[in-house]
Chains A and B, each alone.
Chain A
Amino acid sequence: MSDVVLPLLVAVPVLAAVAPLCLSLLSSETGWYVAAVTTAIEAGLAAVVLSSVYGGDRLVHAVGGYPAPYGIELVGDGLSAPIVALIAVVSLGVVGFAYTGGPRRNSFYSAYLLLVGGLMGVSVTGDLFNMFVFLEITGLATYALVAADRSGRSAVAALKYLLLGTMGASFFIIGVGYVFITTGTLNMIDLSERLAGSYATRPVLAAFGFVLVGLGLKAAIFPLHTWQPDAYTYASDTVTTFVSALVSTVAAYAIGRVILTVFTTSFLAAVPLARTAVVGFASVSVLAGGALAVVQTDVKRMFAYSSVSQFGLVVAAFALATPDSVLGGVVHLVGHGLMKGGLFAAAAILAATHGARTVDDYARLGYRSPVVAGVVAVLGIALVGVPPSIGFLGKYYIAVGAVRAGAWPLAAVVFFSTLLTLAYVARLLERLYFASPNAAPDRASGALADGGAATPTSGPTSAPAPSPSPPSDPDAADDTAPDEGDTRTVRGVSTGMVLLTVLAAVAVVALGFANAGFETLLDPFLGGALP
């Protein structure tokens, strides 16, 4: 009867999201406690799901007692369980991070819990339309959170995300409409059976294209990523930590779910162009995202483009759809969530303590904040794919899958992604530990230290140069204005926050030894096809 945890996973945070609003009548600082309790419950529920699935179960719950294919099914299997666990762990961790780091407004936690519910819903639903609903909940909550910084830049970024994200969701629902017209069903398992035999028909092909582009936009695959760097960069640091670790992750999971469960590998076999197209798109994303990350000066923007690159890798792995590559995709999803969340959290702490926002600002921080800088170094190296780390594990499985499937271009792309990742991580490491002592910018330490005009000593690239670009470009115009105190920065830094980043780094390294665990977890889903 453990399948009852599935609806609880979704219902608990959605219902709890109402509580902070109501409690605002009493106090404006109660939201955090609601969120803390709720995410702790979520973590417990996720643990139940994970252990059941690890034991070989496939959890299925028919919502409201209506059986599939007419009712809505919630499913916990090898593909969704690790994502559920990741959402639970990261949302709990970010709540802990926000205790000191803020924001502490009740409305923030309503959106936060709504987002958790939406993410959980996408992860456990077994119904394609239901997935759209939860994607919308996720998207709306994310727009609100991005805008929660209350600065002009974040508002524009949220608006951009809103418009583009709505387009993506529309594409998704158009695609769902096509398959519904073709088959008359929305349940994923049922769809996979009814789609068989009509793979090459235009509605099904159109559905695949619309769904993939829609979800690819949500997952920020190049060139559909344009919303993402701004959203990550201009959202407050706490929100970026949360959003970067989970939102695109769940969208990428949705891509995997749609390809593997709805369209299935038979579709990919029947329409080889579909696989080629998705792998090609994803490969371009890997290379373009990596190249763009290399040339960034702003650390948050660099990490944002890094996500474009890494999600390209995950989507390519799902589209390749061999047992190894799918395993690698899931492992890399989980790993990327932990690594990128940890990196953004560490960047938030460094921004708060040293006002360091650009790569040049990081000069010699390895000696001034050894612990947090060490976390950045460990997570960065793990992101490159150096063993032992989960970053290595994911890339390794994807590369093995590509090699075993004879997909040499993809294997080469995995290799180049490693090189590109190394290029931008090495820039950070070089600044952190090997910059010449007089390169360290002379900044007052403090929460709001990033304000004011860039000092000439901080180097020519440390601050955005006055841009003569047309004033009609709102972003560029926004950038020319001197920062009047960076509202993104966390309110304060506690030992607990530092400890959380250290935990993330430890988890990333420890999970590097969990290859057998991941294989056990996903083996039933992959049909026992793992060697």
Chain B
Amino acid sequence: MLAGSIPPFVPVLLAALVAAVAPRKIGHGLGFLSTAAVAVGSLLVPAGTYLTPRLFGFGTVLYQVDGFSRTMGIIFGLIGAAAVVYAYSSGAEGTQTAAALGYVGTSLGAVFAGDWLTLVFFWELMAVTSTLLVWHHGGRAVRAGFRYAVAHGIGGSLVLAAVVWQYAAAGSFLFGAAPGVVGPIAPALMAIGVGVNVGFIGLHTWLPDTYPSPHIAASVFLCVYTTKTGVYAMFRAFPEGHLWIAYMGGAMAVFGASMALLQEDMRRLLSYHIISQVGYMIAGVGIGTTLATAGAFGHIFNHILYKALLFMSVGVVIYRTGIEDITELGGLWRVMPVTFAAYLFGAAAISGVPGFNGFVSKGIIIAEAHKSVANVVIGPSSVPLGGEDLLWWLLIVGGVGTFMSFIKLGYYVFFHGPASVDPEDAKPGQAAPMLSVGALCLALGLFDGVLFEVLPNTAAIAEGYTTYTVPHVVESVALGVAGFAGFFALKGPLSRATWIPDVDRVLNPAVFFGGRALVRAVTESWAAVDRAVVAVASGATAVGADPRRYAFEGARRLPGFAVAAPTDGGVGEIDLRSSIGTGVFLVVLSLAVVLVVLFL
């Protein structure tokens, strides 16, 4: 079958090459076709291992299909196609979409890799192509892109080190050679290296820094691939899960939502929400049960849909108004009804309103946190809401924060007094992908069985989880009520707390000055070594070029040497010729020394 012989990254990367040189229409057309073909192909290709060449003398698998990579392939292809259409309508240049398609292609290469070597190869290429995508916009994006590249360079190096260590421990790069990453150090390196990509707290600063800065269409691409590939790699590295990772996920859910609440830049708010949402996925991967893992992949799938939708709708607002600050906007629901509808779908989905897809996958993860984690139990189970684990609480609080921040975003942009500007609504080419993605969000929420079909571990979900139960719906409604109440209660304080900085206020200068100090230390010590070597070498050259003068000058300063003064400015003579008597003395002395040494 054709789909089994061509790895998905090939057509997309070919389309990227064409898009780089071809006219805009042809490039975008090919990009759409290739990504749509990947989505369809991923759905149809039977599971199995294809293309196993030996690279650099190692056994590798360029193309491996199982339930997990299939899910990734379908959603990556699907949203890639929608984003290409959106990019075309939003006036993206051909070269920008070429970089975006390169980014999509390398991400597909990473998620369809069957071994760590191939994965890390595409992983690094993802960092390169996404940096190009950011840089393409110029201006503020250049500096942000540079910080992005540095962060991913460090993260990629850690992953590479972990992969090398993994090879040393397992003897093979193949995923099948060991259950995840094994050994004493490699898992830690891998967790931190992948943690950069998924935005572990403290390693996340590149994300809200970069994603608001480039072209609006570039943001749609960026919000999809890097973090989700990271979650996928985290699952490959820790297929059995890990409690610390689960708690990190819970903390990310709360942290991302809290920071999002403080933002006034629309895309920056959405970027912090990526951290929060990825936190749910990481929590699912970390819990590690079959159901939790399936929930994590379901959340990847759904999140890509609604987060891309949100970026698209916000992008349309920016596209039409040129304004990025929510406090300067307001009342747009009348003038941009289509965009508002799209936003509403996305916000409902991300907040987990029943009937939307976010409700389904977030529900699985929260239910698993309730059922399978009992590590840091808070309160006795006899009192109401007692007996739940810390992780569950984190995810619940994150849910409230999500409601609050999307109420905030929607309130400020679409209500919040009368419209101060009178922009046009979304173009048809922008509306079409938004509305189809929005419809998909609703459809997958209503017909959750369809969603389960494309997820891995379908049987486990069908058996272990029912989406629409009374407690689930009650829980969601409670979150929504808490979100509304919380936002309108805290609206005033929140608008005054926007000065609260993120850790990048400290981290960026620390990295900059620390790096400069490191560079200075290295270059200065090298320069010292260099000076010493040059001094020795030039000294040796000077002595070698005129040894007699140095010998004479040395001998002149020593007592007991017969030296003749230099004649007519030249070099003087040293008399080294010993008399016969001196010779005899030296011989006898030598004999005495030798005999004394031997008799000792």
Contacts and interface: CB of A to CB of B under 8 A. Distances in A.
Interface of A: 159-160, 163-164, 167-168, 171, 202, 205-206, 208-210, 212-213, 216-217, 223-224, 226-227, 229-230, 271, 273-274, 277, 281, 292, 294-295, 297, 423, 426-427, 459-461, 464-469, 473-476
B595 A224 contact: no
A469 B575 contact: yes
B578 A206 contact: no
Contacts of B5: none
Contacts of A292: 576
Interface residues of B, number: 36
Interface of B: 544, 547-548, 551, 562, 564-580, 582-584, 586-587, 589-591, 594-595, 597-600
A143 to B, nearest CB: 13
Contacts of B586: 223-224, 226
A224 to B, nearest CB: 6
A459 B571 CA distance: 10
Nearest to B583: A226
A111 B568 CA distance: 45
B530 to A, nearest CB: 21
A209 B566 CA distance: 42
A468 B551 contact: no
A460 B570 contact: yes
Contacts of B577: 229-230, 473, 475-476
Contacts of B589: 223
B572 A465 contact: yes
A163 B564 CA distance: 28
Given A164-B580, A475-B577, 13 more contacts: A205-B599, A210-B595, A216-B590, A223-B586, A224-B586, A273-B598, A294-B551, A426-B544, A427-B544, A460-B570, A465-B572, A469-B562, A476-B575
A204 to B, nearest CB: 9
B594 A212 contact: yes
A459 B594 CA distance: 44
A415 B225 CA distance: 59
Given A294-B547, A465-B564, A164 B587 contact: yes
Contacts of B572: 465
A469 B594 CA distance: 33
A281 B594 CA distance: 9
Contacts of A168: 587
Contacts of B566: 460, 465
Contacts of B580: 159-160, 163-164
Given A271-B598, A460-B570, A465-B572, A224 B587 contact: yes
A262 to B, nearest CB: 16
Contacts of A466: 567
A352 to B, nearest CB: 25
A226 B578 contact: yes
Nearest to B579: A473
Nearest to B544: A423
12 contacts: A167-B584, A206-B595, A216-B590, A223-B590, A226-B586, A277-B597, A294-B544, A294-B551, A297-B548, A465-B564, A466-B567, A473-B575
The 6 A-B pairs at the shortest CB distance, nearest first, are namely: A460-B570, A226-B583, A295-B551, A209-B594, A205-B598, A475-B577
A461 B598 contact: no
Contacts of A206: 595, 598-599
Contacts of B599: 202, 205-206
Contact of A167 (B573, B587, B597): B587
A379 B443 CA distance: 92
B598 A423 contact: no
